[in-house]
Amino acid sequence: MEDYITIALPKGKLFQRSVDLLAKVGYSADNVTESSRKLVITNEAKKLRFIITKTVDLPTYVEYGAADIGIIGKDVLLEARKDVYELLDLGFGKCRLMLAVPENARRPQLEDYAHLRVATKYPHCAKAYFDKLGIQTEIIKLNGSIELGPLIGLSELIVDIVETGRTLKENKLVEVDSVFTATARLIANRVSFKLKYDRLHKLVTDLERVLKEEEEK
């Protein structure tokens, strides 16, 4: 499979836009759908293979070379802390990682939230954020609905991804600080990028061109 480029695609909100964008630069195969039961989808003519993975697993596939490249949100990439190349900011899937508290528990300064419990799906990002501020907190890792933490007394704060802010309002939570803004990124395995440099460099160049053309429309 040394002649092939293997692309990891994330299930969820980034999937269809990733497929459509790659197709515009000739990276496509029949039946690349999120609901596909095939584990590996191949385009023999173009020497391409696609794998569809859970979002949290995608950086691992790329780091270990099971996939040469992948598309993943910057939030997942920062949390995963995998040793991969970040080749291109694709600009879509924009969201924010933010700190939020119950409306009735808002405090005057960020430092006033010290020594409280924080529920989050992003413990590494949250720790880095609070360490930078010099604020000591207890971080609780959750995988489900983070907003539930303050509602049932598990935590006083949450650090979570927000797009529209509707879920926060529905649960009477208010954003008090932005940790970072995240968009979709094209990442590559370090060895693959060296061994398949010509094809991957062309891919990056072609994607940059398409993104620029879309922006100018």
Q: What is the pTM of this model?
A: 0.93
Q: How far apart are CA 113 and CA 153, in angstroms?
A: 15
pLDDT at 1 over 70: no
pLDDT score recorded for residue 106:
95
The overall average pLDDT reported for the chain is 96
Closest CA to 178 of 163, 166, 191, 190: 163
| Residue 71 · residue 184 · CB < 8 Å | yes
Write out the two tokens for 103. 């409306």
pLDDT at 196 over 70: yes
pLDDT score recorded for residue 163:
86
Q: How far apart are CA 73 and CA 10, in angstroms?
A: 9
Q: Which domains does the chain have, with CATH numbers?
A: 5-93+183-216 (3.40.190.10), 95-181 (3.40.190.10)
Give the Å distances, CA to CA, from 52 to 42, 66, 141, 155, 205: 12, 12, 25, 34, 24
The residue written with tokens 């790329």 in the block is 62
